[in-house]
Amino acid sequence: MATRRDMLKLGLATGGAALTTGLLSKPAAAQLCSPDNIPPYPPSPPTRPFIAPLFIPPVKQPVDPASLSPAVDPTKHQRYTEFLPKKFYVQNIGATNWQYHPDLPPTLSLSYDGTLPGPTFHAKYGEPILVRRYNTIPASLASFAVPFVTTHLHNFHTASESDGNPADWKPTGQYTDHHYANFPAGNDSSEIMSTLWYHDHMHGFTAANVYAGLSGFHLLFDSRDTNNENDTSAKAFRLPSGAYDVPLILHDVVFDVNGQAVFDQMVTDGLLGDKFTVNRTVQPYFVVSPRKYRFRLLNGGPSRLYQLALSNNQPFWQISTNGNMLPFPIKVTSVNLNVAERSDIIVDFSQNQPGDQVFLYNQLQQLNGRGPSGVILNPGDPLMVFSVTGPKVADPSRIPALLRALPNINLNEVVAQRTWRFDYDGGAWTVNGLPFDPDRIDAHIRQGTAEIWTITNEGSDWSHPVHIHFEEFQILSRNGLPVLPGDPEHSRKDVIALKPNEEVKIFIRFRDFLGKYVMHCHNVVHEDHAMMIRWDIE
């Protein structure tokens, strides 16, 4: 198994400047966020806010399976013949020049199918699909990113060989077939998911490759969340759909004096950009009509945490956390997003006056990659503006009183309890005192069982958004206190927000597939510096 150091050597051997171009020339020690909160980079060139329109990624379209050459090998996929794909997709992972703002020149980026974010997948439960992803990145890529990739559909219930494990990377010129069976975990309808995203998960270089552009949305629909606000079925939620269902991915980026995105592999605490982007556009505007919209908020990282709010504390409805519907909508004035977390919200602009400008703010102050300072900004940093200047249109959508009930927790299923301690030991990020080794199995787990995991943040200065692949879990307690109905954490989760010195206890099942999976900090800089473990379902 190639190590991160091996990959660095290989990149330098094949690409010359492949891993150095775009890095600042100061010594690595000077790049670290200091205790005095000195920024690690010079400020980006100035950009005018709210002059660039929001980019809406296109919806990915299927291809004729006969066009796949060679044909898919069913023997390489668990339960393939049981869940034969009904749609096939081809995606190219390559290099492109992307313009983040009219005041900046295009910057060398990585992309899925040439756009940042990549195309949005629309998939349905009961309709299995296969996605073939080709690595077409030039082997001589002159970037801080690397020409080796593995794509993880976060956090879908899928077989290990299609999960996008960090160790399953492919070099330039090769492809991977991802089989998504599209059935809920345990065939339990209460385990249905909605807003997912896909991103690169290259071992040791996830942060760099995602920062360079490799992220996109993958949305799932079913007989209730039907993607049709005009659906007359009694079961249908009739949430805003079509042009009124808008995915928004947040990435913060820093640019050098030439307007090129920069990234330093030697920074270990985390990277904060000074330019806020939404769908890879710096502080865009989006024209809305006076009606309800569904916004799918996603924190794409690499290291910033958000508390999102609208102008004047305008309330809205939170209907999901991570990729999962809440039991019922919650009326809120802000939502918190750790790295990789999603939250679907409904905003009703019919409550605004024509011509209103509604800003989306981040109120969470963060001065370095360690985590938030604890200061709540008022109003905060403006990320984008919704301009209520669109035409009046019909609005058949609604906010249902009830969404999805949570799966039952049966403690009789529990066969083991484990403790995972996330810490910083001797200058390295560790879990239970060890850095990640992709060949070491840290937990052998029996298929069809459940376990209770206690996950702790041993540090007093760091926040860790901890992500567990494959299965959703439910939080039993945080710092010894139960999570109660009405709290957004009373839900199914795939990311645990761990503040300094916190402890969270979860209930998690392991069903339907076998193989290797991982758990890691989704401050992806921490992940790349070995804050990850491997666990296998056997």
Interatomic CA distance for residues 466 and 438, integer angstroms:
18
Q: Is 328 exposed, middle or buried (0-12, 13-18, 19+ CB in 10 A)?
A: middle
The distance of Cα 16 from the centroid of its chain, to the nearest Å, equals 31
Q: Residue 443 pairs with which residues in a beta bridge?
A: 535
| Separation of alpha carbons 160 and 438, rounded Å | 14
Picking from 349, 372, 387, the residue at the C-terminal end of a domain is 387
Bond into 117 cis (ω within 30): yes
In-domain check, residue 18: yes
Residue 113 and residue 211 in one domain: yes
Clarify whether residues 127 and 165 are in a common domain. Answer: yes
pLDDT at 426: 82
Check residue 39 and give its pLDDT. Answer: 54
What does pTM read for this prediction?
A: 0.93
Per-residue tokens: 212 = 């360079």
Last residue of a domain, one of 187, 221, 255: 221
Same domain (yes/no): 377, 474 = no
Q: Is residue 521 in some structural domain?
A: yes
Which of 430, 381, 448 shows the shortest CA–CA distance to 529? 430
Composition of the chain by helix, strand, coil, percent to 5:
10, 40, 50
Domain-ending residue, one of 221, 252, 281: 221
What is the DSSP secondary structure assignment for residue 227, as one 8-state letter? S
The enclosing domain of 28 has a CATH number of 2.60.40.420
Q: 225, 366, 228, 383: which is closest to 298 by C-alpha?
A: 383
Assign 3-class secondary structure to 33-61: CCCCCCCCCCCCCCCCCCCCECCCCCECC
The upper half-sphere exposure of residue 213, i.e. CA atoms within 13 Å in the direction of its Cβ, equals: 31
Give residue 310's domain range.
Answer: 242-387
The answer to whether the Cα torsion of 156, 161, 167, 173 is positive or negative is negative
Residue 231 resides in a domain:
no
Same domain, 524 and 460: yes
Pairing of strands 87-98, 129-135: parallel
Structural domain contains residue 13: yes
| Residue 139 and residue 247 in one domain | no
Length of the chain: 538
The predicted pLDDT at position 22 comes to: 32
User: Are both 415 and 365 inside the same structural domain?
Assistant: no
- Which regions in the chain score pLDDT beneath 50? 1-38
Pair (9, 82) in one structural domain: yes
Beta strands in 136-255 (DSSP E): 151-154, 175-180, 195-200, 215-221, 245-253
Task: Identify the pLDDT of residue 17.
Answer: 28
Q: Which two tokens stand for residue 131?
A: 């996605």
Q: Are residues 208 and 246 in the same domain?
A: no
Q: Does residue 54 belong to any structural domain of this protein? A: yes
Question: Considering the domain boundaries, does residue 228 fall inside one?
Answer: no
Residues 248 and 217 in one domain: no
- Residue 312 phi, psi (nearest 5): 55, 25
How many domains are there within the chain? Answer: 3
- Contact 440/3 with Cβ under 8 angstroms? no
> Do residue 196 and residue 246 come from a single domain?
no
373 C-beta neighbours (distance < 10 Å), count: 13
Q: What pLDDT, on the 0 to 100 scale, is given for residue 40?
A: 64
Let me know if residue 401 belongs to a domain. no
R_g over Cα of the chain = 22
Task: Answer yes or no: are the C-beta atoms of 533 and 518 closer than 8 Å.
Answer: yes
Burial code of 40-58, b = ≥16 C-beta within 10 A, e = fewer? bbeebeebebbebebbebe
For residues 491 and 524, state if they share a domain.
yes
Q: Provide the 8-state DSSP code for 63.
A: B
Residues 363 and 419 in one domain: no
Domain membership flag for residue 236: no
